[in-house]
Amino acid sequence: MKKTAFLSVLLALILLAGCASEPVDVDLTKLSSTFVYSEVYNMVTDPGDYIGKTVKMDGTMNRYTTTTRELYACLVLDATACCTQGIAFEWAGEHAPSEYPPQGAMITVVGTFATFEEDGITYCYLANAELKR
């Protein structure tokens, strides 16, 4: 009986260990609005320090276009809710535009920080992102 109980507990622990999510390098969900806004500002103005890091953030869904592509982004407000900063994301897998949350919806995004350049402008985004509504 004790052996069966021990094996059951051991199996449960092994299964739970396999369910652990990827570690997050920069978790913006645990910061105050002032710090989140400041950190996102740092990320977009000095992206080299963040390339390849896993970032998790909460914010509002937004869509915008560059000269060649449509981008989806997670926007955050500063403490007074007068200014916004955001990071675009690339949802992992293939998704039709209708599958994305509506503009203004609250979302959580986890992805790998990366950049791309277009027309001499460097854009920051979260690659292979997981999107939660």
Domain residue ranges of the chain, discontinuous segments joined by +: 22-132
Check if the beta carbon of residue 74 is closer than 8 Å to that of residue 57: yes
Q: Which is the CATH superfamily of the domain at 22-132?
A: Nucleic acid-binding proteins (2.40.50.140)
Q: Which residue has the higher pLDDT, 80 or 120?
A: 120
Decide if pLDDT at 100 tops 90.
yes
Which pLDDT tens digit goes with each residue over 29-75? 999 888 998 899 999 999 999 999 999 999 999 998 888 888 999 99
- Give residue 131's pLDDT: 96
- Give residue 118's pLDDT: 92
Decide: helix, strand or coil at residue 108. Answer: strand
Q: Is the pTM of this model over 0.75?
A: yes
What does the buried/exposed string (b/e) look like for 1-33 if buried means 16 or more CB atoms within 10 Å of the residue's CB?
eeeeeeeeeeeeeeeeeeeeeeeeebebeebee
Strands 106-118 and 54-65: antiparallel
Decide if pLDDT at 94 tops 60.
yes
User: Rounded to whole angstroms, how far apart are CA atoms 133 and 117?
Assistant: 28
* Most confident stretch, 8-22, 74-88, 105-119: 105-119
Which pLDDT tens digit goes with each residue over 2-31? 444 333 333 333 333 334 456 999 999 999
Check if the beta carbon of residue 113 is closer than 8 Å to that of residue 124: yes
| Residue 17, amino acid | A
